[in-house]
Amino acid sequence: MERFRKYRTDQKTRDKYSEVSIMTDDLIYPYFIVEGRSVKQEISSLKEVYHLSIDMLLADIEEINNLGINKILIFGVIEKSLKDEMAKMAYAPDNLVSRAVKAIKQKFPELIIITDVCLCGYTDHGHCGLVTGHEIVNDKTLPYLSRMAYTHANAGADFVAPSAMMDGQVNAIRTYLDQHSLKNTGILSYSAKYASNFYGPFREAAQSAPAFGDRRTYQMDFRTIHQSLKEIKTDIEEGADWVMVKPAHTYLDIIQRAKQEFPATQLVAYQVSGEYMMIEAAADSGYLDGDKAMMEALTAIKRAGADKVITYYAKKLAGILIN
Write out the catalytic residue numbers: 193, 246
CB 130 within 8 A of CB 141: yes
Q: Return the residue nearest ligand PBG (CB atom).
A: 202
Nearer to ligand PBG, 169 or 273 (CB): 273
Nearer to ligand PBG, 180 or 227 (CB): 227
Residue 232 to residue 242: CA distance in whole angstroms = 10
DSSP structural state of residue 221:
P
Nearer to ligand PBG, 261 or 281 (CB): 281
Interface residues with ligand PBG (CB under 6 A) are 116, 118, 120, 128, 163, 199, 202-203, 215, 272-273
Q: How far is the CB of 87 from ligand PBG (least distance, A)?
A: 12
The helix or strand, by DSSP H or E, that contains position 87, with its residue range, turns out to be none
Q: Which neighbouring-strand residues pair with 188?
A: 242
Nearer to ligand PBG, 4 or 212 (CB): 212
DSSP letters, 266-310, are EEEEE--HHHHHHHHHHHHTTSS-HHHHHHHHHHHHHHHT-SEEE
Torsions phi, psi of 74, nearest 5? -115, 130
Nearer to ligand PBG, 91 or 202 (CB): 202
Handedness of CA 258, 259, 262, 265 (dihedral sign): positive
E-only strand ranges, 5-111: 27-33, 40-43, 46-52, 71-76
DSSP letters, 240-273, are -SEEEEESSGGGHHHHHHHHHH-TTSEEEEE--H
Q: How far is the CB of 106 from ligand PBG (least distance, A)?
A: 26
Among 142, 302, 44, 60, smallest CA distance to 52 is for 60
